[in-house]
């Protein structure tokens, strides 16, 4: 079985967010997919099987299967368009979150994702204790989104990962206005055995609608301020989040399983 590792949302290796990608002739059993994911020890491993003119795509974290993942979708599209469907300029994935389309635009891969509908929730002492600073606002959808007023809070934050497990939401995202981008953010997923997700695509299905509405802008440049760092070029339109980024192939391997 061939496996690719792609760094997504970056133009060079060792940046962005690494995802493993396995393009299969047919589905292998779920325990084996989980074993491969745990062995990789990356935030996501993607498995895809061609079905008609689409690819059925599934994402696994070391903590289990999830319903939406941006960087592994971008990574999978990069692998397919460069190694399997070399003449293709778009690919459609069938997923647990519906059909997702990725279009290649020059060096960028643009993904069309559903936007999460955010509901304002009270800022709590538990949030402050987990993050080491009190958010100005908080919102809930699949994940919890905490908003700050200074990007330095985001860049310098050293959250208590164990305390984050006690907060609502599958993942936790922190965000603030940016100086070199419209917004900066970081994403934490200890419930999925991911202390910090270096660049979280699905997290921007929360982050982009918030900043689009707050700034009155449909097009946003977003920066994820993890140690690896990553840039997303986003558009919020018709209840959808369009996210584009570059990708860099790190490795190709043969799995003996």
Instruction: Provide the mean pLDDT of the chain.
Output: 96
Can you name the CATH fold of 2-114+243-254?
Diaminopimelate Epimerase; Chain A, domain 1 (3.10.310)
Q: What residues are labeled active site? A: 44
Of the chain, the percentage scoring pLDDT greater than 90 comes to 99
Give the number of C-alpha atoms closer than 13 A to the C-alpha of residue 187, restricted to the C-beta side.
Answer: 31
Q: What is the 3-state secondary structure (H, E, C) of 121-178?
A: ECCCHHHHHHHCCCCCEEEECCCEEEECCCHHHHHHCCCCHHHHCCCCCCCEEEEEEC
Helix (H), strand (E) counts: the chain: 6, 18
Distance between CA atoms of residues 1 and 20, nearest Å: 12
Q: What residues form DSSP beta bridges with 12?
A: none
pLDDT attached to residue 12:
94
Domain boundaries, the chain: 2-114+243-254, 119-237
pLDDT attached to residue 136:
98
Q: Which of 76, 82, 64 is nearest to 100 (CA)?
A: 76
pLDDT attached to residue 60:
97
Q: Which two tokens stand for residue 30?
A: 């779920």
pLDDT attached to residue 205:
96
Q: What residues form DSSP beta bridges with 47?
A: 22, 58
Give the number of C-alpha atoms closer than 13 A to the C-alpha of residue 30, restricted to the C-beta side.
Answer: 8
Structure confidence by residue, pLDDT tens digits, 120-161: 999 999 999 999 999 999 999 999 999 999 999 999 999 999
This prediction's pTM: 0.90
Structure confidence by residue, pLDDT tens digits, 53-100: 999 999 999 999 999 999 999 999 999 999 999 999 999 999 999 999
pLDDT attached to residue 173:
98
Can you name the CATH fold of 119-237?
Diaminopimelate Epimerase; Chain A, domain 1 (3.10.310)
Distance between CA atoms of residues 209 and 99, nearest Å: 20
pLDDT attached to residue 164:
98
Would you say the CATH fold of 119-237 matches that of 2-114+243-254?
Answer: yes
Q: What is the DSSP string of 168-223?
A: SSSSEEEEEE-SSSSEEEEEEEGGGTEEEESS-TTTHHHHHHHHHHHHT-SEEEEE
């Amino acid at each position: 079985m061939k496996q690719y590792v792609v760094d997504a949302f970056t133009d060079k290796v060792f940046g962005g967010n690494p995802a493993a990608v396995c393009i299969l002739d047919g589905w292998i059993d779920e325990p084996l997919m989980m074993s491969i994911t745990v062995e990789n020890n990356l935030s996501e491993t993607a498995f895809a099987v061609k079905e008609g003119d689409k690819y059925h795509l599934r994402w696994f974290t070391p903590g289990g299967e999830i319903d939406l993942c941006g960087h592994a979708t971008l990574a999978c599209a990069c692998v397919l368009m460069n190694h399997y469907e070399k003449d293709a300029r778009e690919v459609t994935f069938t997923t647990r979150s519906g059909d997702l389309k990725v279009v290649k635009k020059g060096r960028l891969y643009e993904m069309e994702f559903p936007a999460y509908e955010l509901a304002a929730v009270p800022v709590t002492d538990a949030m402050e204790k987990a993050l080491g600073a009190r958010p100005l606002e908080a919102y809930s959808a699949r994940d919890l989104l905490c908003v700050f007023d200074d990007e330095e809070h985001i860049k310098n934050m050293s959250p208590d990962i164990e305390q984050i497990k006690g907060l609502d939401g599958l993942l936790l995202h922190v965000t603030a206005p940016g100086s070199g981008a419209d917004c900066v953010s970081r994403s934490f997923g200890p419930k999925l055995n991911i202390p910090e997700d270096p660049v979280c695509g699905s997290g921007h299905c929360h982050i982009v609608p918030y900043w689009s509405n707050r700034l009155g802008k449909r097009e946003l440049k977003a920066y994820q301020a993890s140690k690896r760092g990553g840039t997303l070029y986003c558009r919020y339109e018709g209840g959808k989040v369009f996210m584009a980024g570059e990708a860099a192939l790190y490795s190709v391997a043969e799995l003996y399983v």
